[in-house]
Structure 1
Amino acid sequence: MLHYAIVCLVIALIAAVFGFGGIAASAVGIAKILFYVFVIMAVITFVLSLLKKG
């Protein structure tokens, strides 16, 4: 999922360079959402692994 967030960020940067503001804004929005979902899932997995070992 982090891979998809990075891909969306790269697409946003390329779109911004070529002047496609709307596409760049949507790609950045998607990248932000995917990044936050990735962080939340990583934290949940970390906590669950600590609980399973303890």
Structure 2
Amino acid sequence: MAEVNNGAEGGTSWETADADNRTVYSGFLGLTKWAIILITIVLILMAIFLT
């Protein structure tokens, strides 16, 4: 019984860790996407003002 319970706990912890990694990864991708958009907007504005 104890071994079965330990196995179940290990499985759930792996699942939650996988879900956490997925949310962190998608959040990181979202941040980089917005950073790229902001950088391109700043570069376009600089090009407009400097020309």
TM-score range, shorter-chain basis?
0.5 to 0.7
Greater fraction of residues in helix: 2
Supply the RMSD in Å over aligned alpha carbons. 0.8
Q: Which has the higher contact order (CA 8 A, sep 6+)?
A: 1
Question: Who wins on radius of gyration, i.e. which is larger?
Answer: 2
* Percent identical: 6
Query: What per-residue deviation string (whole Å, max 9, x for no partner) do you get for residues 8-47 of structure 1?
Result: xxxxxxxxxxx41000000000000000000000000001
Q: Which runs of 5+ in 1 are unaligned?
A: 1-18
Instruction: Count matched residues.
Output: 36
* Partner Cα separation in structure 1 for residue 39 and residue 8 of structure 2: 47
Structure-2-length-normalised TM-score: 0.67
Structure-1-length-normalised TM-score: 0.64
